[in-house]
Amino acid sequence: MSNANSSAQLSTETTNPTAKAVARHVRVTPMKARRVVDLVRGRSVEDALNILKFAPQAASEPVAKVIASAAANAENNLDLDPSTLVVATAYVDEGATLKRFQPRAQGRAFRIRKRTSHITVIVESLPKTGTSTRNRRKGSAR
């Protein structure tokens, strides 16, 4: 019963066209990838890619690839204008974990978990408005 409620909360019902891209089994830990995804969620695709280009985290490269892929899917498959695309939904799920053993002293062995991630990005095309109210206020105040 709780599954039905949680899936209803995650659904992104919208009238705007959306495009999706998923990268599976990416060799970056989900916790580190989530830090990067949280930076760009809700931003325009152009802003998100610029932020990720200069982000110091190693996970920013695969996240940028997925965002660029979702934008390309929107442009090529749905004929959407790339300048109107916004990162509507972005999340990271845990993928398969590779288990390795690290030899230690006195015959012991420690388990090392090499985690993978599934990165999902959904971009949405918002209707283009002339100029935002934020820019208008800045111009009139000066």
Average pLDDT over the chain reads 85
Q: Are 11 and 91 in contact (CB under 8 A)?
A: no
pTM attached to this predicted model: 0.77
CB-based contact 93:26 (threshold 8 Å): no
Query: What contacts 24+ positions apart, CB below 8 Å, involve 105-110?
Result: none
Q: Is the pLDDT of residue 108 over 90?
A: yes
- CATH number of the structural domain 17-141: 3.90.470.10
pLDDT, residue 6, reads 41
> Does residue 71 surpass a pLDDT of 50?
yes
Q: Is the pLDDT of residue 69 over 90?
A: yes
